[in-house]
């Protein structure tokens, strides 16, 4: 028998006796994740809680000289935080144990600037201990944010402070059970209280905190915890605080180039294709504009469409999602935030309700070793430890799922088997619809988890083409879903010309509206394109899901006369340049009077013709750091811009804390010109700002 024949005989015999020859597993490719990083990838979605001194001083960055007496929550209940996080589907909570102002939420031995000198619980409280207990009760993991920058510490800038910083870390990692993540913030603005010195201190972010020693402490005390900073060493920042990763997102980076405060931070959004270390991205964003609680942002909690977008652009783009909850000064997650968190959970549950690839057949012509061990059926076996792999050298390939019956699909989840490295550089997805292949999407990276959203197709097959990969692609999971149309009330917007648009969150929805104040239903006017509303009207609109007839809640907006012919003047009948921003129907833009304005800055609006005016509206500045908010006003009306009649004066109560539209009604006066005078402004800036001004007419 020749050698060749003998080998065939041997293989035949082995198959006969049921023992398939073992296929060598694919070799790891490039940097691979550590065990602690792999565990972190499974965390997926968890809460950040910014709650500390700033919560009581209404600041984002405290100065460091605040009195511990200021920290005094009235209803602090960490179990409420944990319950909310759990109900929202989160897996852990990271707490700001110490922010830049230096106040410590636990009774540290390193400083007097802590809860032990606060009135809360007579100085016997420990927020970290309470949170650790609550997390244990709700089966959540706990993480710690410890700011390296400390604006309170007298020795900040000297080696003594770093000793205390390390000691604080030791306390936090020793006394509160298991910690899953330690969060080091790269921010440093220099100036501070520093024990009363009130000066600016510069440190070298790369060397001052002795990062090697810092890492060693974490490894020693919490070997399973990951360390977050701009550049890791375990987890990286995603390079923005808005809640998105790039569509190309490598979990690897040339880590040695990165340090806290790295100026090339935009590269953090995509990672480095030629990375030297596993360094996956965490997407941190707040549910409100600020990280800390400010009553003035109560109306700016992110909407459901905003949160959904963030979900798909973080978790769906190979990142983990760290959503910040600014716990309020009672010590509770605010009711509005709770409502939005639960709305997000409900919508995500709907989107991913029924997995469609289960029990369907997946095949590929390129299977490593032609055995089941690396066959395509591993892709939908519900087990992420098994995966499809191609033979060595085969980096372009595809796999196809065949449905028993044509099935509607609009979401795809794809996962690479990352313990052996991230590989895929380019891929596309096709659907077999009515005997034709249709391209659904073409993208770059997959990584731990990629979620694609596409228009619903009724497909008999779905094919994933790996177009480019650094080595044999290893795919451990694919899921398919048919998310229902995203049903939320339409957004009503009107431009300066008076044209109204009704914006829907999902293009599959139908929108119906009325202009007479009655409740809209499917028999009302169907919206197709923007339309002119030239008179006063209350528009009410609903979105309807044509799939099941379900309708959204009603959105409603009062529209007065269009602003098409309006012009804005300053004192002395000068037309104000750029002031159109205060009559552009968009409260996100604003216009402000100039620096050296009179003590009572004012604007005059020419309405183009005479109306019966019965009031006005004012939107205060919606900027993150607003200025020039008018708190007290006088309003005058004139027919000729010469003779003015006082129509109303007063205060916009609570406008700084609640920056919503103000509506002031007065006795009807005929006139063409309206003058708004600011008799008092919030803050020290003497400019008056106007985000939007409108009138209320009666004819």
Residue that the structure tokens 């692609």 belong to:
473
Shortest Cβ distance from residue 70 to ligand FUL (Å)? 18
Residue that the structure tokens 């089966």 belong to:
139
Considering the complex, state which of residue 54 and residue 398 has its C-beta at the smaller distance from ligand FUL: 54
Q: Is the peptide bond before 233 cis (omega within 30 degrees of 0)?
A: yes
Distance CA 378, CA 381 (A): 5
Shortest Cβ distance from residue 283 to ligand FUL (Å)? 12
Considering the complex, state which of residue 48 and residue 432 has its C-beta at the smaller distance from ligand FUL: 48
Query: DSSP of 245-260, one letter per residue?
Result: --SS--SEE-GGG--T
Question: What pairs with residue 512 in β-bridges?
Answer: 526, 542
Shortest Cβ distance from residue 20 to ligand FUL (Å)? 52
Which two tokens mark 80? Answer: 């409420």
Distance CA 442, CA 423 (A): 16
Binding site for ligand FUL (CB under 6 A): 60-61, 185, 187, 284, 291
Shortest Cβ distance from residue 290 to ligand FUL (Å)? 9
Query: DSSP of 444-484, one letter per residue?
Result: S--TT-EEEEEEEEEEEEEEEEEEEESSS-EEEEEEEE-PP
Shortest Cβ distance from residue 546 to ligand FUL (Å)? 42
CA dihedral sign, ordered 10, 12, 13, 18: positive
* 503, 437 Cβ separation under 8 angstroms: no
Shortest Cβ distance from residue 619 to ligand FUL (Å)? 27
Considering the complex, state which of residue 291 and residue 636 has its C-beta at the smaller distance from ligand FUL: 291
Considering the complex, state which of residue 185 and residue 351 has its C-beta at the smaller distance from ligand FUL: 185
Helix (H) or strand (E) holding 347: helix 335-351
CA dihedral sign, ordered 40, 44, 47, 50: positive
**SS3 category, 207:** coil
Shortest Cβ distance from residue 185 to ligand FUL (Å)? 5
Alpha-carbon Rg for the chain, nearest whole angstrom, is 30
Distance CA 169, CA 172 (A): 5
CB neighbour burial string for 185-202, b if at least 16 within 10 angstroms, e if fewer:
bbebeeebbbeeeeeebe
Considering the complex, state which of residue 66 and residue 430 has its C-beta at the smaller distance from ligand FUL: 66
Shortest Cβ distance from residue 143 to ligand FUL (Å)? 12
Phi and psi torsions of 70, nearest 5°: -75, -25
Shortest Cβ distance from residue 147 to ligand FUL (Å)? 7
**SS3 category, 12:** helix
Shortest Cβ distance from residue 207 to ligand FUL (Å)? 20
Distance CA 55, CA 49 (A): 11
Shortest Cβ distance from residue 305 to ligand FUL (Å)? 23
Considering the complex, state which of residue 241 and residue 442 has its C-beta at the smaller distance from ligand FUL: 241
Shortest Cβ distance from residue 134 to ligand FUL (Å)? 21
CA dihedral sign, ordered 280, 286, 290, 294: negative
DSSP class of residue 51 equals -
Considering the complex, state which of residue 43 and residue 431 has its C-beta at the smaller distance from ligand FUL: 43
Query: Three-class SS string for 533-558?
Result: CCCCEEEEEEEECCCCCCECCCEEEE
Shortest Cβ distance from residue 133 to ligand FUL (Å)? 24
Distance CA 176, CA 589 (A): 46
Considering the complex, state which of residue 161 and residue 237 has its C-beta at the smaller distance from ligand FUL: 237
Distance CA 494, CA 530 (A): 9
Phi and psi torsions of 631, nearest 5°: -105, -30
Number of CB atoms found within 10 A of residue 395's CB: 18
Distance CA 301, CA 660 (A): 13
* 624, 297 Cβ separation under 8 angstroms: no
Considering the complex, state which of residue 93 and residue 362 has its C-beta at the smaller distance from ligand FUL: 93
Distance CA 311, CA 90 (A): 12
Considering the complex, state which of residue 102 and residue 587 has its C-beta at the smaller distance from ligand FUL: 102
Distance CA 375, CA 223 (A): 36
Considering the complex, state which of residue 183 and residue 618 has its C-beta at the smaller distance from ligand FUL: 183
- The closest residue (CB) to ligand FUL is 187
Helix (H) or strand (E) holding 276: none
Distance CA 106, CA 115 (A): 6
Distance CA 102, CA 71 (A): 13
Shortest Cβ distance from residue 311 to ligand FUL (Å)? 19
Shortest Cβ distance from residue 227 to ligand FUL (Å)? 15
Considering the complex, state which of residue 49 and residue 696 has its C-beta at the smaller distance from ligand FUL: 49
* 197, 244 Cβ separation under 8 angstroms: no
Shortest Cβ distance from residue 624 to ligand FUL (Å)? 12
* 459, 400 Cβ separation under 8 angstroms: no
């Amino acid at each position: 028998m020749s050698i060749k024949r003998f080998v065939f005989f041997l293989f035949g015999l082995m198959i006969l006796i049921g023992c398939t020859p073992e296929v060598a597993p694919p070799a790891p490719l490039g940097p691979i994740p550590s065990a602690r990083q792999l565990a972190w990838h499974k965390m997926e979605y968890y809460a950040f809680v910014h709650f500390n001194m700033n919560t009581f001083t209404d600041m984002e960055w405290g100065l460091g000289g605040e009195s511990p007496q200021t920290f005094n929550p009235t209803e602090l209940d960490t179990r409420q935080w944990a319950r909310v996080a759990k109900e929202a589907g989160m897996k852990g909570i990271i707490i700001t144990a110490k922010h830049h102002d230096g106040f410590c939420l636990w009774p540290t031995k390193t400083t007097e600037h802590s809860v032990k000198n606060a009135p809360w619980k007579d100085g016997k409280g420990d927020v970290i201990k309470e949170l650790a207990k609550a997390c244990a009760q709700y089966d959540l993991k706990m993480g710690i944010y410890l700011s390296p920058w400390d604006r309170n510490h007298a020795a900040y800038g000297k080696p003594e402070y770093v000793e205390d910083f390390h000691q604080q870390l030791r306390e936090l990692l020793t006394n509160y059970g298991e910690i899953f993540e330690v969060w080091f913030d790269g921010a440093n603005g220099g100036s501070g209280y520093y024990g009363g010195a009130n000066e600016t201190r510069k440190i070298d972010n790369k060397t001052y905190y002795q990062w090697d020693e810092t890492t060693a402490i974490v490894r020693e005390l919490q070997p399973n915890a990951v360390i977050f900073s701009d550049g890791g060493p375990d987890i990286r920042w995603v390079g923005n605080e808005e809640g998105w990763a790039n569509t190309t997102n490598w979990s690897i980076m040339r880590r040695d180039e990165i340090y806290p405060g790295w100026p090339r931070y935009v590269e953090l959004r995509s990672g480095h294709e030629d990375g030297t270390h596993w360094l996956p991205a965490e997407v941190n964003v707040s549910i409100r504009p600020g990280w800390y609680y400010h009553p003035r942002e109560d109306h700016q909690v992110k909407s459901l469409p905003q949160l959904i977008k963030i979900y798909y652009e973080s978790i769906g783009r190979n990142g983990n999602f760290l959503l910040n909850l600014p716990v309020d000064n009672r010590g509770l997650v605010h009711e509005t935030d709770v409502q939005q968190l639960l709305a997000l959970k409900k919508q995500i549950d709907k989107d991913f309700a029924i997995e469609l690839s289960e029990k369907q057949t997946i095949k590929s012509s390129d299977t490593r070793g032609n055995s089941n061990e690396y066959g395509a059926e591993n892709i939908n076996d519900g087990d992420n430890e098994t995966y499809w792999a191609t033979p060595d050298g085969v980096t372009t390939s595809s796999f196809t799922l065949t449905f028993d019956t044509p099935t509607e699909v609009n979401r795809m989840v794809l996962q690479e088997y990352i313990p052996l490295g991230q590989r895929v550089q380019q891929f596309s997805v096709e659907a077999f619809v009515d005997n034709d292949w249709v391209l659904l999407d073409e993208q770059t990276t997959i990584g731990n988890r990629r979620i694609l959203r596409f228009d619903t197709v009724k497909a008999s097959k779905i094919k994933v083409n790996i177009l480019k990969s650094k080595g044999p692609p290893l795919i451990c999971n694919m899921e398919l879903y048919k998310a229902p149309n995203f049903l939320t009330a339409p957004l009503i917007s009107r431009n300066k010309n008076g044209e109204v648009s009704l914006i829907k969150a999902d293009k599959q929805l139908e929108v119906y509206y009325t202009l007479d104040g009655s409740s809209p239903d499917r028999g009302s006017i169907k919206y197709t394109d923007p339309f002119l509303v030239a008179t006063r009207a209350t528009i009410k609109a609903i979105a309807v899901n044509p799939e099941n007839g379900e309708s959204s809640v009603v959105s409603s907006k009062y529209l007065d006369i269009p602003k098409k012919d309006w012009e804005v003047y300053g004192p002395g009948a000068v037309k104000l340049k750029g002031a159109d921003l205060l009559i552009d129907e968009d409260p996100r833009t604003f216009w402000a009077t100039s620096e050296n304005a009179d003590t009572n800055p004012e604007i005059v609006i020419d309405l183009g013709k005479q109306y019966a005016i019965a009031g006005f509206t004012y939107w205060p500045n919606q900027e993150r750091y607003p200025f020039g908010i008018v708190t007290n006003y006088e309003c005058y009306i004139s027919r000729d811009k010469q003779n003015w009649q006082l129509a109303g004066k007063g205060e916009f109560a609570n406008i700084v804390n609640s920056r919503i539209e103000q509506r002031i009604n007065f006795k009807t006066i005929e006139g063409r010109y309206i003058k708004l005078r600011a008799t008092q402004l919030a803050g020290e800036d003497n400019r008056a700002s106007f985000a939007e001004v409108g009138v209320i007419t009666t004819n």
